[in-house]
Structure 1
Amino acid sequence: MPLQDAFSNFTQRDWEHEAVEGAIRLAVVGVGGFARQRALPAIADSTRCETTVLVASPPESVSDVAEAYAVDAVVDYDPFLEGACVDAYDAVYIAAPNAVHGQYAIAAAEFGKHVLCEKPLETTVERARAIVDACADAGVTLMTAYRLQAEPTVRRTRELVRDGVIGDVVQVHGGFSHPLLAEADPDTWRLDPETAGGGALVDLGIYPLNTIRFALECDPIGVYATTRSEGPPFANVDEHVAIQLEYETGATASCTASFDAHARSALELVGTDGMIDIESPFGGVVPQEMVVESGDVRMEYTGPRVDEVREEFDYFGYCVLTGTDPEPDGEDGLIDLYTIEAAYESAETGRRIALE
């Protein structure tokens, strides 16, 4: 691929192979900050999804949200699990805390509903496998909510790597930090290891972990990690984490994540013949700014901002409506959980962990 061609039709939806009509009806399970601020507005802007059910406790706590998005059906969690409003939705979007993903995803699958589940898929590999198996048995679509896989900058990066524009990738650097307590109370579920499944690695580090796998199109074969916590309120989870990853291609990656640092994200891939640098890939609405060097040619691109959350919902709706298997499926979510569990084992034992 000539470098200048990489920026032609930059925001194209290359996953969109056929025209479809209609939209799938979503039950949004868990109406917390992310659902209110990002997911529900994105669904409203989507052309292939619409919110028809809200699941929250107590239901009256989201009356303002129901009114704002003209959602008629609002139900508590237990009635939802028992089948309330089952005829009012085609799929679920699960934005509840990590440790309850499984019960809602499995219930939805048993009702014959498709599942879009926030990452991580669950808190352990075993519990995530139960979701994957339930959706497979029911014959419904399961997508792990890796929204960056639908985001143009990351998709163009994968194309550049695939086409050898920067040669063979030798090293990757990815980092994501965010001051959690600037927006959340110290009693947030994200600081409860049983509910969250971990700390900064699970909540933030999973972004570079998955994005690097997506861009390289291969999985890690070894991991070495260290974690650090300075004390309350981070005493029970990793406040900071650093991970080194090895890939069968010979590439290595270093990833960092922090719950208590200035908000910042970055992704850089260095190859034998060039490099790709993406500005702020993990922090929300990606600014579509990237620098690519190939040999002695350097190009900078700045394009219109794209709401990656809206892209994710349009992609999920497209997959359901066309019967297309999503790239970020349940197995994709499982592989990251294998890596996360190995990283925590490495941090505890102080040794490299091989990944099969």
Structure 2
Amino acid sequence: MTQSLLDWEPRDWQTTTEGTVRFALVGVGWWTREFVLPAIETSDLCETTAVVTGSTEKADRVREEYDTVERGLTYEEFVDGEATDAYDAAYVCTPNATHLEYVAAAADHGKDVLCEKPMEASVERAADLVAACEDAGVTLMIGYRMHTEPAVRRARQLVRDGVVGEPRLVHGENSQPLLEMIDDPDQWRLNPDLTGYGTSVMDLGIYPLNTARFVLDADPVAVQSMMQSSHEAFDEVPDEVAAFSVEFDDGTFASCTSSQNASDHTRLEIVGTEGRIELEPAFHMETGLTVDRGGTTVEVDAEQVDQMEVEFDYFADRVLAGEDVYADGEHGLVDMRTIKAIHEAAETGGTVEVSE
């Protein structure tokens, strides 16, 4: 175990330190303003040169704060192809059900795309999104920031090195008090026309689901689930709280919970035949890693990074080097099919296979 903990390079994916990818940021909500713009500003491989928003005031504020931003575009101007010479790639961070329109527009303009997860509101629209990028021959990456988080990558390597033996169980949790964070029940995450199948699994449960996929290098084959909504703000979505089980194709079983109306907590545990790995906090902007084997517990001093900066650096590195991205559209489609199956299982009370 000691050797596995010592032999580690957090940026083992990096192939270049030369070049710059210029981004148009489509959607300038709180996530983009608080996390994405500052992350790109400190990146050596990325630059924000355009923002796309329905608010002229927002665009002006961003341009005043960030000198690299040359253009502020409306959504219509972006779709119509205005100022395409001002950027090389698009980052799409709008409500789930609007991703397809903006990703397809970027693809039509020959621009590579980094699209936030979940990639769309339904499996069908997600498949159309993938097809649009494939037809245009552009790179599509889905924004799973955990894939480049050093502690998560370390956990993945430890599993590969057999530190926990054969993986058997996964326990995942992700919850937050949405109405305290955004004090408005009339928000898109509670609108089924914009969020998709639901709110908690789509927005939060996807984290333990996808991070388990990444750490185990395994995919879901069947699911069971329960969910309910009792608070009046969640009347239009089925999963104020959700619990779901996943069978992976390597034989591992996962038990996960998610809620948009609970205290802020994130955790992921991998239990094997010879030990366990725990990430806690798991899905915040910092991640802790603990390894336990044979009665010896080690709290790993994992490097804390700006997760969004590293995610953008990874995308830029792949694009500049002409290499494939890991979390491509097909990868994201597996999550979409799984989430759809989780909601079907809650409705039927049975086991639902995750089918292509």
TM-score, scaled to structure 1:
0.96
Q: Which deviates the most, 303-312 or 96-105?
A: 303-312
Match for residue 38 of structure 2 among 33, 41, 55: 41
In the alignment, which residue of structure 2 is the partner of 1:244?
Answer: 245
- How far the C-alpha of 1:232 sits from its partner, in A, is 1.3
CA–CA separation in structure 2 for the residues paired with 1:65 and 1:34? 13
In the alignment, which residue of structure 2 is the partner of 1:167?
Answer: 165
- C-alpha distance after superposition, 1:145-191 (max 9, x if no partner): 00100111111111111121101111000100000011212111110
In the alignment, which residue of structure 2 is the partner of 1:331?
Answer: 330
- How far the C-alpha of 1:11 sits from its partner, in A, is 5.6
Flag structure 2 segments of 5+ consecutive residues without an equivalent. none
> Alpha carbons of 1:9 and 1:45: their partners in 2 closer, same or farther (altered >3 Å)?
farther
How does 1:201-220 map onto structure 2 within 5 Å? 201-220=201-220
DSSP 3-state at the match of 1:244: strand
- C-alpha distance after superposition, 1:77-101 (max 9, x if no partner): 0111000111100000001111110
Match for residue 113 of structure 1 among 107, 111, 114: 111
- How far the C-alpha of 1:58 sits from its partner, in A, is 2.5
- Pairwise CA RMSD: 1.2
**Is this contact kept in 2: 1:228–1:239, CA < 8 A?**
yes
In the alignment, which residue of structure 2 is the partner of 1:63?
Answer: 60
Flag structure 1 segments of 5+ consecutive residues without an equivalent. none
- How far the C-alpha of 1:305 sits from its partner, in A, is 1.8
- Percent identity among equivalent residues? 47
- How far the C-alpha of 1:10 sits from its partner, in A, is 4.7
DSSP 3-state at the match of 1:263: strand
In the alignment, which residue of structure 2 is the partner of 1:298?
Answer: 297
In the alignment, which residue of structure 1 is the partner of 2:225?
Answer: 225
DSSP 3-state at the match of 2:233: coil
Q: Which deviates the most, 106-115 or 243-252?
A: 243-252
TM-score, scaled to structure 2:
0.96
Paired amino acid for 1:266: R
CA–CA separation in structure 2 for the residues paired with 1:118 and 1:252? 27
Match for residue 70 of structure 2 among 66, 69, 72: 72
**Is this contact kept in 2: 1:200–1:259, CA < 8 A?**
yes
Paired amino acid for 1:258: S
- How far the C-alpha of 1:143 sits from its partner, in A, is 0.2
- How far the C-alpha of 1:304 sits from its partner, in A, is 3.8
- How far the C-alpha of 1:236 sits from its partner, in A, is 1.1
In the alignment, which residue of structure 2 is the partner of 1:139?
Answer: 137
**Is this contact kept in 2: 1:123–1:195, CA < 8 A?**
yes
**Is this contact kept in 1: 2:150–2:302, CA < 8 A?**
no
In the alignment, which residue of structure 2 is the partner of 1:97?
Answer: 95
- How far the C-alpha of 1:324 sits from its partner, in A, is 1.2
In the alignment, which residue of structure 2 is the partner of 1:272?
Answer: 273
